[in-house]
Chain A
Amino acid sequence: MNVQTPVYMDNNSTTRTDPRVVEAMLPYFSEDFGNASSKSHPFGWKAEEAVDLARERIARVLNADPKEIIFTSGATESNNLAIKGVAEMYADKGDHIITVVTEHKAILDTCKRLETEGKRVTYLDVKPDGLIDLQELADAITDKTILVSIMAANNEIGVMQPVAEIGKLCRERGVIFHTDAVQAFGKVPLDVQAMNIDIASITAHKIYGPKGIGVLYVRRRNPRIRLTAQMDGGGHERGFRSGTLNVPGIVGFGMAAKIAFEEMEAESARLTALRDKLRTLVMDSTSDVYVNGSLEHRLPGNINMSFNYVEGESLLMGLKDVALSSGSACTSASLEPSYVLKALGVGDELAHSSLRFGLGRFTTEEDVEYVAKRVNHEVERLREMSPLWELAQEGIDLSTVKWSPH
């Protein structure tokens, strides 16, 4: 097998910048270094032209107008601007926000901050497959609700929420709908018109673009969404986000979006097949493996599996030639397993036993075969060492054992 190690299988975390993207960016570090706000000379004009093209390319992926694309430093800033910006701008209209327990920390912690400032936040639970219950959302909306923020696809388990249905519901009830579309953008179709999305956060580095450049899509009409800017300055980006534009980053984001959009259909089919192959190769030879989250409503390149009786961090340590993430946060002093997996109702011990596989554009079939082989081998080795496996083999139900938690 011709596999270059370490194998990178953590594409939900970040992606390698595509060489075509790097190439597109390079001139904007050197000869075309102008400030896109400089209106008085060709250096500025050229930079502005490049930014406009990137805006168009990104807007096309969302079926948006280029004027609705606001550049930021990344998705964390986009999420902060969206939620705080709406909360502040629409404070007269209401003080209630609805989000979901499995959201990214950039959403949850922003909402927690607003709670300390007197806003009220409802955190919707998810079903065992990771999806929200639309009726629960409908029931949670009150006349004080100003914003619903629900992610398009989850970063840990790849589960895709019913964005179109959520958008329709929010539109009917007159509530602004924001979606953290970081994982979904460029991977699966997103249409801000058809899905009634009012605000969306996206970032370049998840789609083979550079780090440090993000976008907030902000709807301009039907309805026009306003936000209170969170930084004061030169009033760039329609006044939503001051700061000199990161022209090379923006150019890279534009090129990354163009490639992702053009290759989406073929790439989505390829990654779905590879991901299913990985799952099958693992589950066919290793017992007691569980997939976390819906398989049906899932990003093409993501699979998250729990390996019962084996602890995730030790499994990662064994798989040192594969770059992966664990749902176990044993690396922190808290010993808390992933809050996303807990929200699905996955027991703590299975949550501690989970790995996230993020396949991407540069993942090959050989990579998948290699990783499956390594996973099967390490799980077997660690189970031989596991007292839980031993008890289970003796037919003892682990839930009946009296443990001594520490």
Chain B
Amino acid sequence: MPYSDKVVDHYENPRNVGSFDKNDVAVGTGIVGAPECGDVMKLQLKISADGVIEDAKFKTFGCGSAIASSSLATEMVKGKTLEQALAIRNTDLVQELALPPVKIHCSVLAEDAIKAAIADYQSKQAKMKSAETLVNSVEVTGAVAVAA
């Protein structure tokens, strides 16, 4: 199957291949797909305290179009807020990479990876906040106890 020049470029010179520490609270990790379907994407976002995506990395098991879709996704999300990143649609990737109909699922997977990474980040943040609240309430209780 002939690939578009952009797919070939991303395949041969993938942007932002690599990994962040998935335990870092500032990192959201999304892993989507399944090996038996022939594609798995891991997308990681490093997010600043004010909710801007500072950096992104990916690793992909899949065809050239899947690799290109995830590579392009890392480029597109950088510098965006979470809301802006969530607004990225797979059709944006299809258009940019000129994906043929049989490869549209690759772009869908990349969109899902962005959403999964953001969801992971948000659930980590929520957990941290509830932990902080718990710590604060313990402190308050302690203060009350001292006062009593």
Contact = CB atoms under 8 A, between A and B. Distances in A.
Nearest to B62: A311
Contact of B36 (A309, A349, A386, A389): A349
Interface string B1-29: 10100001001001001010000000000
Contacts of B19: 390
Interface residues of B, number: 33
Contact of A406 (B14, B17, B109): B109
B38 A330 contact: yes
Given A387-B42, A403-B40, A406-B33, A317 B11 contact: yes
Contact of B1 (A331, A333, A405): A331
Interface string B99-110: 001100100110
A403 B38 contact: no
A313 interface: yes
Given A313-B64, A317-B63, A385 B14 contact: yes
Contacts of B102: 331-333
B59 A387 contact: yes
Given A333-B102, A335-B37, A337-B38, A385 B64 contact: no
Interface size of A as a range: 20 to 34
Interface in A385-406: 385-390, 398, 403-406
B3 A386 contact: no
Nearest to A309: B61
Contact of B60 (A331, A332, A385): A385
Given A333-B102, A352-B38, A387-B41, A404 B32 contact: yes
Nearest to B59: A387
Contact of B59 (A332, A348, A386, A404): A386
Contacts of B101: 333
A306 to B, nearest CB: 12
Interface string A307-335: 00111011001100000000010111101
29 contacts: A311-B38, A311-B61, A311-B62, A311-B63, A313-B64, A314-B62, A314-B64, A330-B39, A330-B62, A331-B102, A333-B101, A347-B36, A348-B36, A349-B38, A385-B60, A386-B60, A386-B61, A387-B31, A387-B59, A387-B61, A390-B59, A403-B34, A403-B40, A404-B31, A405-B33, A405-B34, A406-B33, A406-B37, A406-B109
